[in-house]
Structure 1
Amino acid sequence: MTAIDWYFDFISPFSYLAWQKVKTLSAATPLRPVPVVFGAVLVAHGQKGPAEIPGKREFTYRHVLWQSRQEGVALRFPPTHPFNPLPALRLCVAAGATAESVDAIFEWIWGQGHAGDSLEALAPLAAALGVDADTIGSDATKAALRANTEAAIAAGVYGVPTLAFDGAMFWGNDAHDFALAALRDPGVLADPEMQRVGTLPVGVQRPA
């Protein structure tokens, strides 16, 4: 049975939308939610996040709202964005990164629109998950999140959300159907044109 890694950060509303679909996969295949620091992934690849680019930021927010309505998923933005996701990510790690904890944190931030950028803001949720502040802020929790992020970068993750299985990666909420097709039929990625574009030569590069 194919095992799936799902890389995400609570800062990403597209991760929230993708989670609504991804979590249903666990009924048929082993699924491992992997919380990572999206900002560190961006730095590793020399990129800016969409919310860091004027114009793209506003478009991204409207686009994700439109997608949520198309998909029938309630979405309410938290008080500020971008926000510091580390407290929420550490809470998730401290709670074992279970499907239940991932679901609860996403619902808190993106379903209900609560702040998730401090231990104080997350205190009611942490209590409901049975996780105390000392565990969330422990060196072990911080190290585990850092290890997740470093392993994701080493594996080639360049954005969130990303589904990974059998050496293939599928980035973005809108890639879910593509991922499902490849999960059901490995031949989707094995046809000659799919293979050819994987080694397509670069014709021109912008100056660094």
Structure 2
Amino acid sequence: MFKQIEGLLTSEEVAELNRIADSSEFVDGRVSNPHNQAKQNLQLHDPKVIDATARKLIDALMRCEDFRNFAFPRVIAPPIITAYRPGMKYGLHPDAAFMQLGKSLMRSDISCTVFLSDPASYDGGELHISLGEQDVLIKMPAGSVVLYPSNTLHQVREVTRGERRVGLTFIESRIVDPDNRELLYELNEVAALEGLNMDWENYVRLQRVQMGLLRKWAVGS
């Protein structure tokens, strides 16, 4: 299951992140993974800039109720802004199961792409997700986000005009099993949409089921 959310960032936030990126240095994206031959992109280089933009992106994610309800985030890797210019792409791959964060390892359950470029400003660059025999192409408005399982085969198609700029991060979820995560999300959506129409006693019973499953399936603090 994957999730698309429009309007994660305000237009002012998109403009500010792009302003910072415009005045910052980008380097070969393989600096973070030298052996990855599929990766052909650029990423921010200055640690102070990376930290400042990461905080803005995490703040936006965590204030978004739809994101929290879908991802059940336990750990969010510091997002990094990456750029694709003409001729650049990222070949078909799954994301790594574990990632180093300082002295700790985090498990990557959900991959997250925040779009920062107007889709009309570049050609190509679609996020191509393979779901069995179905191929999904995603190219969202600036300020939008897409979330998808990190073990999904996906790629970024070659950019042929302009620049595709995105913020990329990974989430360790409190709900490890993706099927359980989807069931909880759907149950929470039903409760949110129909709860006020239900008999109060039945709504309380539904809440008990929600909280019971969350306690049963959640890991960590």
Query: Which TM-score bucket, shorter chain as reference?
Result: under 0.3
What's the TM-score, normalizing by structure 2? 0.26
The one of the two structures with greater contact order (alpha-carbon pairs below 8 A, sep at least 6) is: 1
What's the TM-score, normalizing by structure 1? 0.27
Which of the pair is proportionally richer in helix? 1
Higher Rg: 2
